[in-house]
Amino acid sequence: MDAIACSRNVPAPQHRHNIIACRKPCRGLIVRLYREDAMDSTRVESGGWAWRFALGMALCATGLAWAEEARIYRSYDASGRPTFSDRPLNRTSQVFAVFDGNRLWPRAGGAPVTTAQLSARRSAFDPLVRRVAQAHGVHAALLKAVIEVESGFNARARSPKGAIGLMQVMPATAARYGQYDLYAPEQNIEVGARYLRDLLSMFGGNVQLAVAAYNAGENAVIRHGRRIPPYQETQRYVPMVLERYHRFQSPSLN
């Protein structure tokens, strides 16, 4: 099929490359995906900026949506127009976001970050993470792994479901521990660390199950026979956290 029109009343244009054109009436957004050999890129033209929608459409179309994890690069062409792709295109290319197969992160909002920015954020919070981890008997590498996947070290992050801050803590969870200012990094990490500690205790020190419970809730893990629940998000979330957990235990990052 040469082209696909993804909205009503949008004719499928004929072109020598595969093109996906989608209109979002409320924003006047047009997303076009150009496929040429192995290079997939998305050009975004919009009356209002909506990069999540644009990249989501691109990823689904290119097949990156089925990848465990994929980096999305932003490049600029000669006219200054941004192009999003699954690989660097020119000297302007930078990592724009990471797609975990289910969502772009930092998942809770805010501007996406480059690898260098993410590393800088991680380093900035490292002393606080270590201090809280030591106080509550949780490995600092595990806290950092959860924070990176949850918020990309964005202390102001807030999810559509109401999870807040670095560790994306729900207010109801925070209430268990008497903490309420979840935008305050120390309180947020403290609640997250205490919750993780309790989950590790609940599941006999099994990090996989504790991480799964952090994402899906302890009741979901128990309900599914103390196994990782078969939810798509949780199935993707656990390996992402564990990969970072093991990586952050490396002496060069610790």
User: Cα separation of 201 and 199, whole Å?
Assistant: 5
Cis peptide before 13 (omega within 30 of 0): no
Residues 150, 186, 190, 218: which is the catalytic one? Answer: 150
- Residues 169, 182 contacting (CB under 8 angstroms): yes
How many CA atoms lie within 13 Å of 223's alpha carbon, on the beta-carbon side? 10
Mark whether 150 is an active-site residue: yes
In DSSP notation, the chain reads --EEE-STT------SSEEEEEEETTTTEEEEEEEETTEEEEEEE-SS--HHHHHHHHHHHHTGGGSS-EEEEEEE-TTS-EEEESS--STT-EEEEEE-SS-EESTTSS----HHHHHHHHHHHHHHHHHHHHHHT--HHHHHHHHHHHHSS-TT-B-TT--BTTTTB-HHHHHHTT---TTSHHHHHHHHHHHHHHHHHHTTT-HHHHHHHHHH-HHHHHHTTSS----HHHHHHHHHHHHHHHHHTSGGG-
Active site residues: 150
